[in-house]
Structure 1
Amino acid sequence: MDTSRLLRTTGTVIAAAGLLLSGCTSGGSGTPRAAASSGGASEASSAEPTAVPAALRPYYDQKLTWRECGVPGFECTTMKVPLDYENPGAGDIDIAVSRRKATDPAKRLGSLVVNPGGPGGSGIGYLQAYAGIGYPAPVRAAYDMVSFDPRGVDRSSPVECLNGPAMDKYTQVDQTPDTPAEQALLVAAFKEFAAACQTHSQRVLPHVSTVDAARDMDVLRAALGDEKLNYVGASYGTFLGATYADLFPGRTGRLVLDGAMDPSRPAIDLNRDQTEGFETAFRAFAADCAKQTDCPLGKGSPEQIAERLKEFFRKVDAQPVPTTDRSRGALGEALATTGVIAALYDENAWPQLREALGAAINEDDGNGLLALADSYYEREQDGKYANLMSANAAVNCLDQPPAFAGPEAVEKALPSFAKASPVFGPGLAWASLNCAYWPTKASGTAQALHAKGAPPIVVVGTTRDPATPYKWARALAGQLDSGVLLTYDGDGHTAYGRGSDCIDSAINRYLLEGAAPQDGKKC
């Protein structure tokens, strides 16, 4: 259950489980894989960035060569960026990019770059499966819809760690260790994962930070011919967008940061805050479940239902639930917990979660929870995994120093995590240990981002968001000199495109007319 600080839009969690959501569907197994390569007609950059160092000028001046890439209506290309911005002569990284041109060229405003979060989520998968066809029609009419796989992700010099069978074992390691022996097994698993990443991805590991990706986005902006970056980032994508605005406020256009992170919070606080977020989301699920005739956790208060879920996890820890998956066998506590967490990203998944829990509790059938866990980890039916978990760890462990130095520090923090969430706290505390054994030292640190001089930036927060707690959106909007807070009083992760006309109308008007909503507007 390596779920610490994995921040994605709803669709990237649930899509692989086959659930159709009202919001986003993208990025998981089954997403068409576009070939991002050269060929076809070329287009020159018309934007002339200022204050670009001479060593970086060739990257900013490059021409993107687009071609059809297997998904109707979409084009793909490859952009070159330096492996190391401080030493551009050290070599290049290829960044895969895709776009769908504005449907009404007469109304075209430029490019709109979108990012689904993660870190580790495929922007190209998200664009081709959802954003490029599912964003509001007026937005798609006015903008070339563009996304890219950030460095280290999927098609862009991906971080590679464990193979499929090894990942199967890794995701099943007990993350609520009850004995020193179980602690040792968990530590060994984290060390094995980190060592595999170092073995297979040594060249890129020091260069996949959020700052690196933000600088890549500025090269992309110039290569697309845009004077300013227009951008919608969801979940972790809000941190990427805020980082861009802080680095390049004069090149910042219309930015929407939906499901915001708080960049000023150190890793331990981010992980504990996220633990509170999942507890909040679970309580909302529990209150709804108690009203349903098919609630497998029975009637009563959210606290009573939480205690029954905890008891289920204890039973699964002692006696895993059978599944029909021959390669993995029974469902243990780690995957069962991940399955529940996956469904908390969107309230439309609650019926599926009730069904999966009911099958596991009443019928000794773990297949439903296993499918949800597989959607979270982006495990395909053939046993292969997307590189989501590898890239996620690589970026998180580079962006900030580790939350914990070792098991002793986790044990000291367990009470505070258990207070944040009696159901998920212990497991998420132990999951936060993963960066302690990372082979590359963190290059970043927690700090407020101000983006001084940038135009209004819309920060969106959902009051019962499980993965990015609402207080993070309030904090980021307050840090940004031009931050505007837009609140959705509701459930699930992120808000844009998930059924609120109030939210969608406010964001659409901002993207199309440049008119930001009133700071503090609530929907």
Structure 2
Amino acid sequence: MKALLKQVTAIAALLVTGAGTATATGAPVWRDCYDGLSCTGIEVPADWDHPDGGATVTVPLLRIPARERKLGTLLVNPGGPAQSIPLFAVPGFRDQFTDLAARFDVVVFDPRGLDVTCPAPAPAPLPGPLTESAYDAYAAANAKFAADCTAAAGAARGHLGAGQVARDLDAIRTRLGESRLNYFGSSYGTVYGQEYAARFGARVGRMYLDSVLDHTRPDPAAWARAGAVTAEHNLFRLASWCAADAGCALHGRDVIAVWDRLLATPSAGLVVAWAAARIGNDRSRPELAAGLAAAEAGDTSAMTPRPAPPDARLARSALCADFPAPDGFPAAKRVEAELRAAAPRLGWAVHPWRVSGHCAGLPRTGLNPPAGLPPMPRVLVANGEDDPLTPAEHGRRVAAQLHGRYLTAAGGHALYLRGNACVRGHVHRWLWDGERPPAGTRCGSAD
């Protein structure tokens, strides 16, 4: 997915070519795009809290037509928050959605404002451990990024949170002529699904949330702890794999002892940052083991950070509207300390945007902070047990509040889109026939 996202900038212009735009009250006018698919955009109020203000934003849509016995429309968001529609120009990307289109018109939406390109890129994320000077410098750079992007963001500025997006989804439902919303959300798309369930639960047909990011727990340390502990557990799983697999570069050695020795070297920060980016994917085990073995021998060249593509989009602003980070350096440092106590070797450093200064300096406008969910049982939820980005505890917590069915699954992130056949089978039976997996069902890993 990361490799695909790097191609967005080069191909994003294809999204507009041949795409129609519906008026604020009209039905969508579809145009051909991406070799046999259809694209459009619908105009919605920029601020649903003041819809008569006149300003609007456009929500891009892409449609994959149903192949047989159409059941209606399934609205899909693959996550991010980011643009996903331009990725349909990448060969193979659409294959992830082919089975869903067996019975539904699959309509993929890109959240409002994420097609905006700011004049300059956002500052690079802060690594841990946090220092006050780095935090303050980052906050200043983040504030400048937001100020410089004011004109480019236009009416979307301050209106990027899931509370606005959920109302966009209901407008899409209405304009597609659907009495109920059938919804598939993966990763950040589950935040939009939770918000829709909270606001419009009576209008949900069937919903599937994959790799849930819990939007119900306001305490940042409690919220991030499960992911940190999962990442730490994955380090021990790496050690177990190395003990059993002769192909591991550290086979026959104590992987945890190797790790601890590396943490005592001047390269510790480099090692932790490199490993933290890979520990959530079991397919990275050979690379992880080889990198750690080389580092212990004094060679950290494989861990040297490579230049990342500039990030001049508003995804960070959207995330920070829904998950505002600790306010100020002392609060962020306290959260970091709590995570280091729970997961001292590695987990505390995984996905530092959760608790660091990621949102520091951004305007505190249009916030949609986490809150509890009312019952809305027409939902199936699945999270990977080994996923530190969206840990299983997040999915179980959301499913329990909604009174939905939770599907336990081994593996990592984005279970359906990454091809877990067991998960996909249950999802199809749920979305097509309303058949829930029996309580306690567990799917194995797709790896």
Question: What is the TM-score of this pair, normalised by structure 1?
Answer: 0.73
**1:100 aligned partner:** 64
1:122 Cα shift?
Answer: 2.1
Kept in 2, the 8 Å contact 1:357–1:369? The answer is: no
**2:408 aligned partner:** 487
CA, structure 1 residues 364+208, in 2 after alignment: closer, same or farther (shift >3 Å)?
same
1:194 Cα shift?
Answer: 3.0
CA, structure 1 residues 426+514, in 2 after alignment: closer, same or farther (shift >3 Å)?
closer
Runs of 5+ consecutive residues of structure 1 not aligned to the other structure? 1-11, 17-25, 45-57, 318-332
CA distance in 2 between counterparts of 1:306 and 1:433 reads 27
1:123 Cα shift?
Answer: 2.8
Kept in 2, the 8 Å contact 1:281–1:491? The answer is: no
Kept in 1, the 8 Å contact 2:12–2:86? The answer is: yes
CA, structure 1 residues 199+301, in 2 after alignment: closer, same or farther (shift >3 Å)?
same
1:445 Cα shift?
Answer: 2.7
Match of 1:198 among 133, 147, 153: 147
The one-letter amino acid paired with 2:391 is P
> Is 1:512 equivalent to 2:432 in the alignment?
yes
The one-letter amino acid paired with 2:189 is G
* CA-to-aligned-CA distance 1:443-500 (integer Å, 9 cap, x gap): 22321112x4x4520011222221111111111111003x111111x23123224454
**1:397 aligned partner:** 320
**1:68 aligned partner:** 32
More off after superposition, 412-421 vs 358-367: 358-367
Over the matched positions of the two proteins, sequence identity in percent amounts to 28
CA, structure 1 residues 269+27, in 2 after alignment: closer, same or farther (shift >3 Å)?
same
**2:165 aligned partner:** 213
1:92 Cα shift?
Answer: 0.8
**1:33 aligned partner:** 12
**1:250 aligned partner:** 202
CA, structure 1 residues 438+232, in 2 after alignment: closer, same or farther (shift >3 Å)?
same
CA distance in 2 between counterparts of 1:401 and 1:484 reads 29
1:418 Cα shift?
Answer: 0.9
1:212 Cα shift?
Answer: 0.9
Match of 1:134 among 88, 91, 96: 96
**2:46 aligned partner:** 83
1:248 Cα shift?
Answer: 1.2
SS in 1 for 2:338: helix
CA distance in 2 between counterparts of 1:477 and 1:302 reads 36
SS in 1 for 2:372: coil
**1:501 aligned partner:** 421
**CA RMSD, aligned part only?**
3.2
Superposition pairs of residues 470-485 of structure 1, within 5 angstroms = 470-481=392-403, 483-485=404-406
Match of 1:175 among 128, 136, 157: 128
CA distance in 2 between counterparts of 1:34 and 1:227 reads 33
1:183 Cα shift?
Answer: 2.7
**1:148 aligned partner:** 109
CA distance in 1 between counterparts of 2:112 and 2:279 reads 28
The one-letter amino acid paired with 2:142 is F
The one-letter amino acid paired with 1:122 is Q
Divergent runs of 4+, >6 A: none
> Is 1:232 equivalent to 2:190 in the alignment?
no
CA distance in 1 between counterparts of 2:135 and 2:387 reads 29
SS in 2 for 1:262: coil
> Is 1:109 equivalent to 2:71 in the alignment?
yes
SS in 2 for 1:33: helix
CA, structure 1 residues 135+148, in 2 after alignment: closer, same or farther (shift >3 Å)?
closer
> Is 1:351 equivalent to 2:273 in the alignment?
no
1:412 Cα shift?
Answer: 3.4
**Higher RCO (CA-CA < 8 Å; seq separation 6+):** 1
1:208 Cα shift?
Answer: 0.4
Aligned residues: 434
Superposition pairs of residues 17-28 of structure 1, within 5 angstroms = 26-28=4-6
* CA-to-aligned-CA distance 1:258-284 (integer Å, 9 cap, x gap): 112222212332223322232233332
1:365 Cα shift?
Answer: 5.8
CA, structure 1 residues 90+296, in 2 after alignment: closer, same or farther (shift >3 Å)?
farther
> Is 1:222 equivalent to 2:174 in the alignment?
yes
1:39 Cα shift?
Answer: 4.8
Match of 2:383 among 447, 456, 461: 461
SS in 2 for 1:435: coil
Runs of 5+ consecutive residues of structure 2 not aligned to the other structure? none
> Is 1:438 equivalent to 2:362 in the alignment?
yes
CA, structure 1 residues 109+307, in 2 after alignment: closer, same or farther (shift >3 Å)?
same
SS in 2 for 1:114: strand
